[in-house]
Structures are given as structure tokens and as C-alpha cells.
Structure 1
Amino acid sequence: MKIGFSTLACPEWSWTDIYSMAKDFKFDGIEIRGLGNEIFSVKAQPFTEAQLPNTIDKLKSLGLEIPCLSSGACLKYREKYQEAEDEIKAYAQLASKLGASYIRILADLEPAPGGDVDDEYIVEVLKKLVPIAEEYNVTLLVETNGVYSDTARLAKVLDGVKSRKVAALWDMHHPYRYNNEAPETTVANLGEYIKYIQVKDSIMHADGTVEYRIMGTGDIPVKAMIEALDTINYNGYISLEWVKRWARDLSDAGIVIPQFAEYMAPYKKAHKHSLQTNMRGDGQYPWPKERILNYTFPDILDRICEQFPNQYAFRYTELDYTRTYPEFRDDVDNFARSLLAMGVKKGDHVAIWATNVPQWYITFWATTKIGAVLVTMNTEYRIHEAEYLLRQSDTMTLVMIDGIKNINYVDIIKELCPELENCEPGKLESARLPYLKNVITVDSENKGCFTWEQAMELSKNVPYSEVERVRKTIDIHDVANMQYTSGTTGFPKGVMLTHYNVVN
């Protein structure tokens, strides 16, 4: 968990005062919502073309980042759409230069539900904004504001957009205060859509008015909210949002911001090893070299996502697969949910029969997330070799491409399992391969098999919290991968490799 604060809290402070406060009180980052009298941050002095390099260097030297730029763009007003788009594009350009991951946008302006908002129109305009987000490698975050403090409604909108570049900003206050949502409900509704969090505290008076309070002195159940986030392994930002007018007797940001840092200290995750700088001084890595790591594969991926959220994991242009590390993890998590939906349990064996395609990596990392074992199959296998491996390894689920060169994997699996012709996907009862239940074909649609897309759709049947529940039972010495020897002196033998083996 990382902590930050919005510059909305300190409009009278200089930029030097702001980053000094963040450094002194061990904040991880600063959310930018205007500076001084300039609410449009793009025009603020530290972010002008002349000063931007100095700003970036200063933040880097202090170990601070700008994770989110909060725009004032609101999408509900049709007549102001072009104005909103122009603002969002300007913020996206700045975010790209700063290395900021997120841009906050509003789909409804008021904190509490009020006037009507056309969900279909919001979906339409968000889709129009996706190319901007993709061009500048940022994610647009729709805040849980107004009618979208009903997070089930917001989730439907995000489902309609179908883009990894549009997600949710959970303002912890609004769904609880204005929609009576329990923290568990919000997290269940939004799940992995939650990429960034804002927080503030308050009480509700008998007359229905809200009185904002310094953190921990109101009745917003922050502890329960963080516990709910633990079920989805959220390790992003919680950022304080504060406005002077909310509490005139405590208007000074010099009181409110340090108090928030102290309040959140028990929830911050401290890493044993800080980032290491390479010998050239032009890059960083998370762990000292020649150091044994007691981490599982999911632990490794989480750390990389946390430290390098904007770095690409894949730019696979031939297959139209470009992902940052967090976006790749989202794919991994979704396929992990799909495997659980198919009945794959911890310790079960999942075989991958494919060349260098994205689904290979997604399958590998998804199995490690739920404690299953990836069985790697030689791409040159013929029918007798494939049959031996699948039977000897007790493979339950097979993910495969159509084939390579003159080897047709689909024909091979149909010959091994003629029962596929008359069975539903996921219900294979094979005489020759009795353990095999699920076959997933990446390239084509075949009887008795899930396509990759159909398999991914199954993820909707399993909450992400179930993935995390299983993940917490994984030990570094659990088997993660089974690799078969070449078999030059007999039948191939399965070598069992643990998380500890392969990570190190």
C-alpha cells in the first residue's frame, strides 16, 4: 500500500513546500490537482516545458512520484464533451512525460447521487477516449462520484467499455456515505477495476448534512475498507483528498497531511530491499544481486508492477499484444479466475502446448497464482509423445495452439480424445487420457474445446478474491513447473521445479 495526498489540500503552498512535506513525512507520491491559483495543472509552473525536466529530476532524487493527475473533466454534459476531451488529452500528454499512470475523470459531478446520467452515453464517450489513453500509455479512472457512488452501476459501465485503459478510482467516502455500501460490497462490485483510491473522513448529522473530519475522527470504516482491499491484494495508492472549506477550524494542510501519514503508517507495506541502481546508473532493479529470494512467482510480479507500473512487459506487435506489467497481471488474474471456474485446484496440472505466444506467458503466470503446476510440452511432439506426457503427468487442463510446421496439434488431440466430438467444453471423459477434462484452443474453435475467448469469459463466474484466497496458501517450496527431459535414455521424466527453484 502506498500513500499520497492531493495538492487540492494546499493551494497556498509553493511546489517546494509540497514536495518537501511529502518527503519529510514519507509519502510515496503526490496527486496533482492544480497548483496555487492554477487549477489546470498542465499550465502550472513546475510542469511547463522549460521546468518539467527539473521537476522530474527533483522528484526522482527524493524518491517521490506523481501517480495520478486529477482532471476536472466531467463527461455527463454532452454539450461540453469536446472541452472535456481536450482537457483529458492535455493531461495525458503531461502524464506521459511525468511517468504518471492515471488520470482522474468524472462521469458525474456531484459527490452524492442527484441528477440523471445516461450510462450508454458515458460508455460511448469513454470508448472515444480510449485511443488517447493508449497513445500516451495512461489509464483513465472514473471516480465513484454521484450516481456512480452506486459501484454496481459503475462496474456495468466499465464492462461496457471493455478496455484495460479505463478503470475505477474508488473514492472511499462516497459509496459508503451516500449509497450505504459496505466496503466488501464495493470491492466485490469493482474488483480489479480499482486502480487508485482517494479517502477522507466524515460524520452524518441527523439533518442529513455531512461534516468532514480529520482522518480517524469520523465514522468512515477505513480499517474495514483496507481489509476488503486485502482480499484482492490491492497494493496501489490511497491518497488523501482534503479541501480547506471542509473544516475551517482545521484548514491548515500542515496539520491534516502529517496526521494522515501517521494514521496510514500501520497500513504501509515496507519492502526488505529498496530499489537497486545498476552500475551504469541508467536503470533500477528490485533486489540485490546474488541474493536468495524467498518469494513466489505472484510475489515477484506484484513487486514489479508496484515499482514499474508504466513499463511495458510486452510489445508484441505481430499479435497485437501490448501490455504494461499491471495490465499483463490483469490478464493473468482473469485467466486464473477462468482456471478456477473450470475446476482447477491447487496442485492440479495444466499443460501448455504452444510456441512463443502471449497465451503461453499468461497461462504460466496464472497457474502460479493459484498453486497449479504448469506442464511444458515440447512443440515438436508427435502423437505418441503427446499421449505419454499428458497421461504420465495427470494433466487436467490443456492449453494449445493449432500446431507448427507440419505438426497439427488439433488433429492429434482429436485422435487421442475422439470423445471431444460429442462432449461439452469442460466435460471431457477420455478413455486414453482419463485425467484430462478441459481443452482450450488458442487459434481456432473446435468441438468439445473452449476457445481462448470462451475460457476468459468464465472468469466472470469467480470473484478475484477467490484467486487471492488460494494464492495466500502457496509456499515457495510448492511445485510450479513440470519439465520433461528429452528421453534419450528411455521415456522422458518429469522434473518438478518449485517457485523457489525457478525464481532464484
Structure 2
Amino acid sequence: MALTESLDRGPTDVPLIEQTIGDFFDDMARRQGARDALVSAHEGRRLSYLELQRESNRLASALLTLGLAPGDRVGIWSHNNVAWVLMQIATAKVGIILVNINPAYRTAELEYALNKVGCKALVTMPQFKTSDYLGMLRELGPQRLPLLQHIAWIDKEGAGDEVAGVQRFSALLAGGDPEDPRIAQIGRTLKATDPVNIQFTSGTTGFPKGATLTHRNILNNGFFIGECMKLTPEDRLCIPVPLYHCFGMVLGNLACLTHGATIVYPNDGFDPLTVLQTVQAERCTGLHGVPTMFIAELDHPRFKEFDLSTLRTGIMAGSPCPIEVMKRVVDQMHLSEITIAYGMTETSPVSCQSSTDTPLDKRVATVGKVQPYLEVKIVDPETGAIVAPGTSGELCTRGYSVMHGYWEDAEKTREAIDAEGWMHTGDLATMDAEGYVNIVGRIKDLVIRGGENIYPREIEEFLYRHPKIQDVQVVGLPDRKYGEELCAWVIVKPGQAATADEIRDFCKGQIAHYKVPKYIEFVKEFPMTVTGKIQKFKIREAMKQQLGIDEEKTA
């Protein structure tokens, strides 16, 4: 039945999971015992479901032996590896709250995050590329991290020198007992509604906020995400996206673990070549990524060497998914059943997702429909009234996925979640009469030029059609005459060259004159977070500085 207003509710035919993550995982391990649960290609490690269960229990025991108790916070500061998954499962089993620390954080951000939520222990990589994690912790010292009592560094099977005052992760693990009776005793006291995870949201202004998520939040979200992908124990999902973010941890790990499927990590950090190699070697059936990752894989000079014919499904998410990129992924990577997911950390994270049988035109042009047991509405940002189908407004969502709240920040929680339980996302979207949702941008990204509302997403989608353009981002810059003018940052395809006039000529007669970018910059890369989210505010700041734009004088 056609919708008469932009409000839709997800199906409720499959019951919600009311177990804790630990109990649900133990049930799955009993059913899937000998099957591969985890393959970490860069570490050369494979664990069956029973082995993953045993090692998780061993770590849970070790954490209790450190003196940690249910409700305590423990940080994980690492890229993708076996230790990360063990921490995810072990902490959940004994009611310890896992705190995801962004591997891109430096000393001031680390100090803020650990102290904000009162982390008593931290598991960390020793270093990664130019980041010296142990060095940063030494620099902060106990004076600036007064609550942190234990640090364990992730070693490679006992390799590497001893580090003063810091325990090896392998030694920590060895001190645990997989048969420890305390694990089951504590497990019986836990509830699905207990907090299990804190993720810091990367706000463009102010300090990051600690979104606190429960077992019920992320376990159900992982399950329904896997349902959309039609995952089974036969599936092997390649996960090159970072685990510290919901994409890797929920859309990846929990989607697999709730379906008895296999988690596959191609590397600790993203590298397009190892993704292609691992998909072929492990015969992966699924692949996750943000658009920039899929672009890097498709345009890799060795792309055609690899057999990707086992691929079927996966998720493209993390930032708006360009239609042209989606088409290439379906055609050239065999991902005929790839889905698009939309959400935010505060909603565990997915609110809308296309499914494997969503018609291709809807799958490449929308973020699908509302997920089970959730509600989504599109409202006028000024009045809060629900808008008609096809009309743009702010997307709000309600249901089991909405976070427990921001850690010890009732005021910010009230600003985000209204009295009726609706999470206000800050995203501009439309909903059609069938319930398909399309994200048109951030409220803050909307460009108003001479009274015309312009959605940068629309211009980006058009420019992706240019044969020389690999990637593009459009922002608004302050302008004295029109209020704002459009600026496009363009990455051209390898071996190609283009001029600004060439791009403008491509636009003429195809899109309205006021939508043609005034400024066109050719760049090698975009500023982005570790998860692949483009930081448009940094593009804006860089251009204002380059062009000598003084915002106050143009206002």
C-alpha cells in the first residue's frame, strides 16, 4: 500500500533476540562447532567456532583475574586482528563494557577518551605504520591516566622485546582458564539491556561523545543485517573495514556470528591488493567496504588478475554510495546481491538497508527500507511535522536500535533523542511512496546559493558520470554575492588528466547553471576518518584558506 506520509515501520515477523551476546554466541558455537568462525589472513590464523569460544572464555577468565568486574570499562586500541574479536566476545560474556578507541587518535584524544569513560584496562597494538601506541601511552603516563590500571600489548606469539610495565596479550591470555566457573556465574546475572560497548562519535565540533550500546542494540542489529544479506553458515565475509567502528564490529563480526558464517580479515589496515588476494584465496562470498575502498579495488592495476566469482553479497556503506560505483561493483566484482546500509553509531548502527532481492534500480539509488522493529520518519527540520512522500526533511528513527545514551552526558542525550524516543540523525532524506529512503545529504551540508537549495550529493552523482572522474566531493563555500558557491574536489582516474573547463563543459546543458561548481580543484585524496567518512568540513576549511575567504566579510 502506498504511503501517504513519510513514515514507515519495519516488519515484526521474526522475533527480537532477548539473549546476551555471550549466551547467543555459545548457542551458535554448539551448533557450528567445527566450522570456521574466523580467518585472519595477515596473522595466518584460523579458529573454528569451538576454538573461538574456548579462547574467548580464556580471555574472559583472564580479565576477571585482573580484578575487573561487570560494568567496568576496558579499551581496545587496535586495527583488525584475532585479539580484537576475542575482546569483543570475552568482555560481553562477563559484563565488561568494551570501549572502542579509534586507531587514528593521538595523545590528547586518547587521554580524553580513556578518562571520560574511566577505562581500567587497555589492550593496544604496539605500533602501526607511523603510530607508536606504546610511546603515546608512555608520554601520557599514570599522572594523566589515573584510572588506567592495566595495559596489554598485542604481540605476535611471544615475538618482540619485553616492554617495561606493560603485559603481553599472549601472557594475559595464558593466565586465563577456559573452564573458569565465574564466567557462567556472571553470565546468569547479565541482561540483554545492559551496556556492552562504548563508541566515540567523531563530531566535527567539540569533544567526541561516547555512544553507549547494549547487547540488545547491537546483537539484533547484526542479526537483521545478516538477514538482509541472506547469510548462512556457508558464507565467508571479507571484512576490510575497521572493527573499532560499527561497520566492522556489527555489520561484519556480529552479522557473521549470528548466522554461523565465517569472518575473514584480509589485513590489519585497508589495502586493496590484499582484499583482492584474500577474496580469491579464501573464496569469500561477501565483501564489505565504503565507496572509496570499492573504488580502490576496482581501479587497482592488478584487478583483472583475480578470480572474484565466488562473491555474491556484501555491504557498501559509511558514506553516500555513488550510483556509478554501485553499478561497477555489481558488473565487475560479481556482487549481484550487494546491499546498501544506512545508519549512525547512535542507532547500533543500521536503520535502513536494501536486501538482496531489492530491484537493482532501487538498490543503487536508495538505502532501502526501514529495518525490522524500527520506525523511520522524515520531518520538516523547522516544525517537526512529518513531510509528504518525496519531500526532503530530517530523518528520525525509533526502536530497539536507539542507543542507551551518551556516556554520563544526559544533556547531549536529550538533544539527540526526543521525549518520544526518536533519534534525530541530522541527515536530510526523502522517502518514496513504497518506503524506499534516499539520503540527500547532511542538514549542515545543504548549500543555499542565491535562494536555491542545492544538495551536493546530486551534483556528485552527476559528476561521477564523467569518464575521467574517479571520485568527487562537492561542498559550499561562503560567497558575498550569492551567499554560497559550489566547490568540487575531483580525483581523476589513473593515467588521466582533466581541466576545470572540461568539467564545466560537461555540466553545461545537463544540469542547471547554478548547480555548476564555480571552483574545481584536482586532488590526490580527500580528508577522511579511518572508517572512510569524508570530512567535508576540512575540504571547506582548506578552500577558504586557499581562496582567502573571510566568512565574516561574506556574511
TM-score range for the pair, normalised by the shorter chain length: 0.3 to 0.5
Taking CA–CA contacts closer than 8 Å with sequence separation of 6 or more, which of the two structures ends up with the larger relative contact order?
2
TM-score by length of 1: 0.39
- Structure number, greater radius of gyration: 1
From the two aligned structures, give the one with the greater helix fraction. 1
TM-score by length of 2: 0.36
From the two aligned structures, give the one with the greater strand fraction. 2
